[in-house]
Chain A
Amino acid sequence: EVQLVESGGGSVQPGGSLRLSCAASGFSFSTYWMSWVRQAPGKGLEWVANIKQDGSEKYYVDSVKGRFTISRDNAKNSLYLQMNSLRAEDTAVYYCTTNVYGSHDHWGKGTLVTVSS
C-alpha cells in the first residue's frame, strides 16, 4: 500500500523558514516524479513544485520561485520542501504527492504551515 506521510509543518513568523519532509513507502520511490501541492484554509488547490526521479529537474510555481527548494533522497525514500522567506500567503496545508502522467495519483494527509506574526 502506498503511504506518504508529511511532517515538519508548524507556525512561523513572516520571513522565517521551515523544512517539510515526506516519508514514502509501499512503492518504488526512486521511479516516480514527486510533487508538493498546497491548499490555503478554505481555498482551492495549488501546485507548488515537481521533482524528477533522480532530482535532475525541478519546477516551481512562480509565486515560490527563489524562496522554496524541492529535493529528494532516494536512499531514504524521502521528499523535502525547504521554504524560506515565508509570507502570510504561504499559509496552507502542504500535500506530498506522486506524479504520474501529469496527475497526482497518491496523496499524503498533509501538514499545516501557518505564517503569522
Chain B
Amino acid sequence: QSALTQPPSASGSPGQSVTISCTGTSSDVGGYNYVSWYQQHPGKAPKLMIYEVTKRPSGVPDRFSGSKSGNTASLTVSGLQTEDEADYYCYSYAGSNNFVFGTGTKVTVL
C-alpha cells in the first residue's frame, strides 16, 4: 500500500488560511469516508484534528476543517496562528483492513 501524497510544505502569514491536499486513489481516499488528519509538533506525539473527513474532535478549534472531493482530501487551517506551525498527516482506510498515512506536510507560519 503506497503512502498518500501530500505536498512537502505549505505556508501562510498569521491570520491567513492554508490548505493541505492529500491525494490517494479510489481504493482509499476516494472509496471511503474514513479520512483523518493529525498535527504533530517536533518531538511530540501526533494529535487527531479531523476524523471521518469533516468531523472535529472536542477541543479542536473550528479554524480546522476537512473536506474531500474524489480521490483528494483536504485540510484547511483558517486564521493561522503561530502554534499551528507543525507537521500534518492525513490517514485513510484502504480496504481489506489496511490503513495508510500520507507523506506529511510541514506548515510554516511566516
Contact = CB atoms under 8 A, between A and B. Distances in A.
A13 B40 CA distance: 30
Contact of A108 (B36, B45, B52): B45
Nearest to A107: B45
Contacts, number: 62
B45 A61 contact: no
A103 B91 contact: yes
A47 B101 CA distance: 7
Interface string A26-49: 000000000001000000111100
Interface in B88-106: 89, 91, 93, 97-104
A86 B86 CA distance: 31
A69 to B, nearest CB: 16
A50 B98 CA distance: 9
Interface centre among A44, A59, A103 (most CB of B within 10 A): A103
Chain A interface size range = 20 to 34
B98 A102 contact: no
A36 to B, nearest CB: 12
Nearest to B103: A44
A103 B46 contact: no
B47 interface: yes
A103 B36 contact: yes
